[in-house]
Amino acid sequence: MGFPIYRPRRTRATENLRSMIRETELSVNDLIYPLFVVPGKNVKHEIESLPGNYHWSLDRLPEVLDEITELKIPAVILFGIPSYKNATGSSAWDMEEPVQQACRLIKEKYPDLVIVTDVCLCEYTEHGHCGVLENGCTVNNDATLPLLAKVAVSHAKAGADIIAPSNMMDGYVKAIRTALDEEGFTNIPIMAYSAKFASAYYGPFRAAADSAPEHGDRKGYQMDPANSDEALREVELDIEEGADIVMVKPALAFMDIILRVKDTFNRPLCVYNVSGEYAMVKAAAERGWIDEKRIVMETLTGFKRAGAKMIITYHALDAARWLRGE
């Protein structure tokens, strides 16, 4: 049935009509806000590569947590800058380091806020890779797994609600699930970075987290951006090993992957609107080249339309304000 019997413009005439037939709705409940916690006191330092985002010391963290809870954003994901680094990244499971301390603070003072913790070693190793190095250059997959499990258990003990391993080691979900269960944390879900690509979009984050590799790159364990079928195999493996939530990262250039994962698997799907995606929008908006609000909201809605249930985004504070009409 075509024109002139069917005229699609009839239902686009007013905002109320458009809202009545709108197929995808973005909500504040979809948002997860990343936080960078650091050692020391009285630290609120804007991250140059992520304008509007900050390094927070524990004593000043409530400033942003108050804002997050007032905006009704349901969850945060924590990244830590450690007080020390070494070859194995042992500060990652040190109970007195920033992530573990932040978990305890949030659980005590903001008990309704969902705490997601990133589990990786790149911020904690002196070489910047995501695991134990073999012969000084190659990440030893199997030697890394028990260390990741120790990190996950330390986060759960500190009060994390969701464990989000991002390391892309083979077998990492199984190792972490087993360790959590053995320690009595059977009800802590795992949000696996299942389809994590070796992407140029991570640049600003690596500056913010001081996690760039000292040498080489991560193409030996993160995925080739050209591959789609491989992403489905990775997701399937993580689900078989016990992943409760799966993730596609980055999001913007990988919406085809988001859609395929959503259509193929019966698991909640999270996407990470990563630092490079954020930084490009901020840079263009600063120059007056784009309408920042419209671009951000269109992009986030696009992630939902493609199949995302949750969105980790540095835009979360602004998006929450815009969603309530500010």
Q: Which residues are catalytic?
A: 196, 249
Tokens of 10: 């009839």
Interatomic CA distance for residues 130 and 168, integer angstroms: 8
Name the helix (H) or strand (E) containing 191.
strand 191-196
Query: How large is the C-alpha radius of gyration of the chain?
Result: 20
Would you list the DSSP string of 68-126? HHHTT--EEEEEE--S--BSS-GGGG-TTSHHHHHHHHHHHH-TTSEEEEEE-STTTBT
Q: Could you give the CA distance from residue 281 to residue 299 in angstroms, rounded to a whole number?
A: 10
Rounded-to-integer distance, Cα 298 and Cα 291, Å: 11
Cα–Cα nearest to 254, from 212, 223, 210, 292: 223
323 closest CA partner among 304, 308, 306, 219: 304
For residues 218 and 103, give the distance between their C-alpha atoms in angstroms, rounded to a whole number.
Answer: 28
* Amino acid, single-letter form, for residue 289: W
How crowded is residue 161: how many other Cβ atoms within 10 Å of its Cβ?
Answer: 18
